[in-house]
Amino acid sequence: MSRIDARFNELKAQKRKAFVAYVMAGDPDFDTSLELVKGLPAAGVDIIELGLPFTDPMADGPTIQLAGQRALDGGMTLDKTLGLARAFRVTDQKTPIVMMGYYNPIYSRGVDTFLEQAKEAGIDGLIVVDLPPEEDDELCIPAQKAGLNFIRLATPTTDDNRLPRVMQNTSGFVYYVSITGITGAAEAQAAVVGPEVARIKAVSDLPVIVGFGVRTPETARAVAGVADGTVVGSAIVAQIEAGKPVPEILEFVRSLADGAHAA
């Protein structure tokens, strides 16, 4: 059982929804990023999504794109991202970490080498947004054989014919993208999300976590109320971009987590 599976089992036993927080590794710099990531569990974060900086983040909105650019400008690399996860694991062996990014840096490293290094660093799952199910042999299946969950995105445009194929090799949880478009573009609507979550659950037993368009505790609570939890990324990254100190950012994160956990 992975840390992700164990965390969802705990949440189910507690009858609590999950709160997932996304941050870009190395934004605004390695040390600040590590301090923030270390503080997330105490701020109520159940699962950490750690962004892997990439030069061409086609699915991300301006906020996440700029975060990745700041990280790259500061010298962040795949090795340093794994190093950040490794440093986090020195004091936290329980909180799941999902690395989220694009396939090119992984392909350049070599899949087998990357998976071995990711596992050793304490990564529990992967979200690779530019690998469709037709490419499962590239990374998805090897990742699962290596003991990492491979988390797939479902979107409003994933129709009933496509959905079973998307779910086929997904593990850990399903990440439902609540809006069509890029990250941070619009606000999620629970009334719209609810039927889509039910549609996914009809073909999968996995938890469904909803992301994109969640920026306030109120929206976090509403969205988590119709799903198994929610993800917040751009709103947290915007706090980093604004130059707020880590304790203030963590207080904001706690308000979002409290909203999700109140669902």
Residue with tokens 């920026």: 215
| 46 included as an active-site residue | no
Q: Which of 5, 27, 49, 196 is catalytic?
A: 49
Amino acid at 72: L
| 130 included as an active-site residue | no
Q: Which of 5, 27, 46, 60 is catalytic?
A: 60
Q: How far, CA to CA in Å, does 128 sit from each of 75, 98, 132, 220, 247?
A: 22, 10, 9, 24, 30
Helices 246-261 and 217-224: angle between axes, nearest 10 degrees:
30
Q: Which residues are catalytic?
A: 49, 60
